Amino acid sequence: MIIKQILTIGLFSLGAFSINAQDDDNNLVDNPSFEVIDGKISKLKKLKKIAMAKGWDSPTAMKADLYSTKAKEIATAPDNANGREFPMDAQEGNYAGIVAYSYHNKEPRTYLQTELIGPLQKDVEYCVKYHVSLSDLSKYGVNNLGMYISKTPIEIETKEDVIFEKKKEVAKVVIPSNNEIQVTRYGFVPICGVFKATGKERFIIIGNFKNNKDTRYEKLKKKKDTPGTQIPKAYYYVDQVEVFILENPEDCDCNKKKENAGIGESVIYHKQFTSEDAFTLEQQIKFSTVYFDNMKSEIDPVMLADLDNLAKLMKENPDVKIELNAHSDKEEDAKASKQPDNENWQKLDEKRGEIVKAYLVEKGIDEGRISVKSHSSLRSASEGGSEIDKAKNRRVEVNMVK
């Protein structure tokens, strides 16, 4: 029996996942998640970097990075030299990485550049948006993450920072209105703003365009459960880049707070099969446990592969019935009891069980084959006090009914 354990952590603030990506038809960014690759991603090497993603490159000789779950060695995901992160919307896929700041400018910054599908229209307002996750080995988090929008690309043959000081250039850089220091690790958060086009702009560049002296930073401690040594820079993973005509202001409100904002850091514990050899059907079903974020009942995208596999097993074995045993952890129960008016926090165990059932039914499984039992925090999977131990308790276990 071979099992790989995956740990993903997400800090939820300012509505990290409250804004959905635009439809591809509306997005002017081609290859927005770096999924389309020129060449074989399994052979991705450090020197090729971002240029392997179709349509993307860097404006200077210091190239941005590209990571993929299908790559080997340096460019791997979720684990790589800068930390651990899954692609934004799934367990498999790609994302980029840039240096936005280094201590005493010891390392040149990197940037992402691409040409839009078409030019922007004069006097039309656009929402520009991308998602970032500070690598968990970064020693610093910074503000001033922005998107420069231009009629022409930037082409610099040397390894240097792109710094704008002239008003005409600064006006083309879109920075969030709050311009907060971005310190969210283990989970992507949106960075966005509104840009009014002068017409014919068709290139975008993502990065930090301010001097170090004009960039605010926050020094961070490494999480005790994170392997590796901190790096003296602010290194951000980047995914899902969007530019679209702004029709509804709320579509570009990355500062909109969710009802669950302020719940702090959460950990998702996940087990995934790397081999199914010698697994009995009962064992495969049992290992379909779904784990949840702190104070959350929504299914995280990381869990969908296991649930899809469970649905497949049930379709292949139509006589099988399952029992979903839903749980919360003790801290969640305590928080919920202190805020009885917060409906989102009440009966998390029940909601988790029902949402897993609903997902399987949506996948074509008869609801008569699925029963749900709720246990709150009475049956802990782990009695430890670490974040990982708590994460093991926020779960829906799956058992085959004999």
Q: Are the C-beta atoms of 85 and 96 separated by less than 8 Å?
A: no
* 278 and 231, same domain (yes or no): no
Flag whether 260 is in a domain: no
Residue 323 to residue 328: CA distance in whole angstroms? 17
Q: What is the pLDDT of residue 267?
A: 63
Laid out side by side, the sheet with 94-102 consists of 65-68, 94-102, 233-245, 125-134, 189-196
Q: What is the pLDDT of residue 39?
A: 76
Mean per-residue pLDDT for 280-284?
90
Q: What is the pLDDT of residue 266?
A: 52
CA angle 151, 155, 159 (to 5 degrees): 140
* 366 and 277, same domain (yes or no): yes
Residue 4, pLDDT above cutoff 70: no
Q: Are the C-beta atoms of 147 and 203 separated by less than 8 Å?
A: no
Pairing of strands 321-326, 370-374: parallel
* 206 and 292, same domain (yes or no): no
Select from 252, 275, 293 the last residue of a domain. Answer: 252
* 172 and 30, same domain (yes or no): yes
331-374 per-position pLDDT tens digit: 889 888 887 877 888 999 999 999 999 999 999 999 999 999 99
Flag whether 257 is in a domain: no
Indicate which CATH number applies to the domain containing 343: 3.30.1330.60
Read off the amino acid at residue 41: I
Cross-strand partners of 34: none
Indicate which CATH number applies to the domain containing 219: 2.60.120.260
* 165 and 64, same domain (yes or no): yes
400 contact partners, CB below 8 Å, separation of at least 6: 281, 282, 285, 286, 320, 321, 322, 323
**Number of separate domains in the chain:** 2
Cross-strand partners of 20: none
Mean per-residue pLDDT for 266-287?
68
Flag whether 4 is in a domain: no
- Coil, strand or helix at 156: coil
* 205 and 293, same domain (yes or no): no
* 269 and 376, same domain (yes or no): yes
Flag whether 28 is in a domain: yes
- How far apart, in Å, are the Cα atoms of 362 and each of 207, 284, 308, 321, 354? 41, 21, 11, 16, 12
Flag whether 8 is in a domain: no
Reported in sequence order, the residue ranges of 220-352 that DSSP labels E, i.e. its strands, are 233-245, 265-273, 290-291, 321-326
41-83 per-position pLDDT tens digit: 665 555 568 999 999 999 999 999 999 988 877 688 888 999 9
Q: What is the pLDDT of residue 306?
A: 87
Give the lowest-confidence range in 140-144, 176-180, 369-373.
176-180
Q: What is the pLDDT of residue 23?
A: 56
Structural domain including 322 reads: 265-401
Residue 77 to residue 70: CA distance in whole angstroms? 8
Flag whether 60 is in a domain: yes
Flag whether 146 is in a domain: yes
* 271 and 218, same domain (yes or no): no
Flag whether 168 is in a domain: yes
**Residue recorded with tokens 């960039």:** 215
* 39 and 188, same domain (yes or no): yes
Look up residue 386 and give its two tokens: 């670490």
Look up residue 301 and give its two tokens: 């995208």
Residue 145 to residue 65: CA distance in whole angstroms? 17
Look up residue 277 and give its two tokens: 């050899």
* 241 and 378, same domain (yes or no): no
Other beta carbons within 10 Å of 211: 13
Look up residue 307 and give its two tokens: 């649930």
Q: Which helix (H) or strand (E) holds 395?
A: strand 395-401
- Coil, strand or helix at 147: strand
* 288 and 216, same domain (yes or no): no
Select from 230, 252, 274 the last residue of a domain. Answer: 252
* 291 and 242, same domain (yes or no): no
Q: What is the pLDDT of residue 226?
A: 81
* Whole-number percent of the chain with pLDDT over 90: 59
- Model's pTM, two decimal places? 0.64
